Amino acid sequence: MSTVRPVSSNTSQQTAHASRNRVTTLTFRQKKERGEVITMLTAYDYPTAMAVDQAGIDSILVGDSLGMVVLGYENTLSVSMEEMLHHARAVARGAKSALLIGDMPFMSYQVSVEEAVRNAGRFLQQGGMDAVKLEGGRERADAVRAIVGTGIPVMGHLGLTPQSVHQLGGFRAQGKTASAAKRLLEDAQILEDAGAFSLVLESVPARLAELISKKISIPAIGIGAGAGCDGQVLVTHDLLGLFDRFTPRFVKKYANFHAEMSKAFGEYIDDIESKRFPAVEHTVEMTDEEWDEFLRSA
Ligand code: KIV
C-alpha cells in the first residue's frame, strides 16, 4: 500500500494554495523565528484532509479526538493504533502540502520506550505521517528522545492531556495554580531538551501559555490557551459544528454542519416520500427499440 503523497493532476481540485511548498518541521521553526503564526487543524478522512490542505493550513493533526468526534467513544482512551493508522492513511492521500502529524493513541507509547519507537515508526511507514504527537511532560522525556533519535519528529502535548482524563478528574483546565504553572513550564523545557520540534498547550491560562511560548525556542501551538502562542489548533468537527455532543468553551464555531446535515437528510426523506426524487434528470434511460425488444423476449 502506498503512503507516498501523490501530486494531484486534477486541475479542478487546485486552488491558489495547491502548488505551495510542502510544510516541514523546519517551516515550523522558521515561522516561529519570523514571528509568523502557525495554523493547524485536525482531519480524519480524505475529503476533509483535502479541503483543509487546499485552504492553506500549515499542519494537519490526525488526532485521537477521532475516537470522540468520529467513532463515538466516550473519550480518547479506546482508540487503537489500527484505527489511527486507518484514518492517517486516508488523510495522507488527501493532503499534499500540510505537515501531517499522527497522534499516538493511549497505550501505544506508555508501556516501554521500545514500543513507543515501534509505534511511532508505524505512523510514518504505514500511516503516511511526517511526525507524531504524544501526551505528557517529564515522564515521556525518554520516549521522546528515543523516537527523535530514530529520525522521527515528535510534537509534545501539555496541559489538558485527554488520555489522562481520569487522573485529571475530567476535561479541566490545567496550570491554574503557581505550582502547576511552574511544573508546566518545566515540562515544556524538558520536552524541548528531549528534542521535540513543537508542542501543544491545551486548556491552560493564556498568560502562562504566552510565557511558555516565549521561554522555549520550539513553537507552542495553543488550543484553549489564548492568543499568545506561536500557533493555534482546533478540532475540525468542533469548528464546523459537526460534533453535537458538547463544544468546549474555547472553540469558535465557523459553521453548523450538524444542523445543515439534519436539514439535508430531512429534505431527502421528504423528497422520496413525496415522489420528488428521483426525478427524470436523476434517471437512466434506454432506447424504445431496446426496450421493445426486451419486452418481446421477456
Ligand atoms: O486529538 C486531538 O485532536 C488533539 C488536539 C485537541 C490537539 O490532541
- Name all domains of the chain by residue range, CATH numbers in brackets: 12-255 (3.20.20.60), 260-297 (no CATH)
What pLDDT, in 10s, does the model give residues 29-50? 999 999 999 999 999 999 999 9
> 120: CA distance to ligand 1 center in Å?
17
What pLDDT, in 10s, does the model give residues 195-209? 999 999 999 999 999
- pLDDT of residue 5 exceeding 60, the answer is no
Mean per-residue pLDDT for 149-169?
97
What pLDDT, in 10s, does the model give residues 165-198? 999 999 999 999 999 999 999 999 999 999 999 9
Mean per-residue pLDDT for 209-221?
98
Quick one: pLDDT band at residue 15, thresholds 50, 70, 90?
very low
Catalytic residues: 202
pLDDT of residue 6: 45
pLDDT of residue 98: 98
Can you give the pTM of this predicted structure?
Answer: 0.92
> Measured between alpha carbons, how far is 106 from 207 in angstroms, rounded to an integer?
29
**According to DSSP H, which parts of 108-171 are helical?**
113-125, 141-149, 165-168
Probe target for ligand 1 pocket from 103, 135, 154, with the most ligand atoms within 8 Å of CB: 103
- pLDDT of residue 11 exceeding 50, the answer is no
Mean per-residue pLDDT for 230-243?
97
pLDDT of residue 9: 38
Amino acid at site 114: E
Ligand 1 contact via 190 beta carbon (within 6 Å): no
pLDDT of residue 7: 38
Q: Which residue has the higher pLDDT, 1 or 234?
A: 234
Q: Are 191 and 144 in contact (CB under 8 A)?
A: yes
Ligand 1 atom closest to Cα of 234? 6
pLDDT of residue 20: 82
Ligand 1 atom 4: residue of nearest CA: 63
Contacts 24+ apart (CB under 8 A), 213-220: 215/185, 215/188, 215/189, 216/188, 216/189, 216/192, 217/32, 217/192, 218/28, 218/29, 218/32, 218/191, 218/192, 219/28, 219/29, 219/31, 219/32, 219/38, 220/188
- pLDDT of residue 16 exceeding 90, the answer is no
> 103: CA distance to ligand 1 center in Å?
8
Mean per-residue pLDDT for 136-162?
98
pLDDT of residue 4: 52
- pLDDT of residue 141 exceeding 70, the answer is yes
Ligand 1 atom 3: residue of nearest CA: 63
For the chain, percent of residues with pLDDT exceeding 90: 91
Q: Are 44 and 91 in contact (CB under 8 A)?
A: yes
What pLDDT, in 10s, does the model give residues 52-80? 999 999 999 999 999 999 999 999 999 99
> 14: CA distance to ligand 1 center in Å?
28
Lowest-pLDDT range of 6-10, 134-138, 173-177, 212-216 = 6-10
62 forms bridges with which residues in the sheet? 102
- pLDDT of residue 99 exceeding 90, the answer is yes
Ligand 1 contact via 101 beta carbon (within 6 Å): no
- pLDDT of residue 8 exceeding 80, the answer is no
- pLDDT of residue 96 exceeding 70, the answer is yes
Ligand 1 contact via 233 beta carbon (within 6 Å): yes
> 281: CA distance to ligand 1 center in Å?
44
Ligand 1 atom closest to Cα of 200? 7
- What is the chain's mean pLDDT, rounded? 94
Ligand 1 contact via 235 beta carbon (within 6 Å): yes
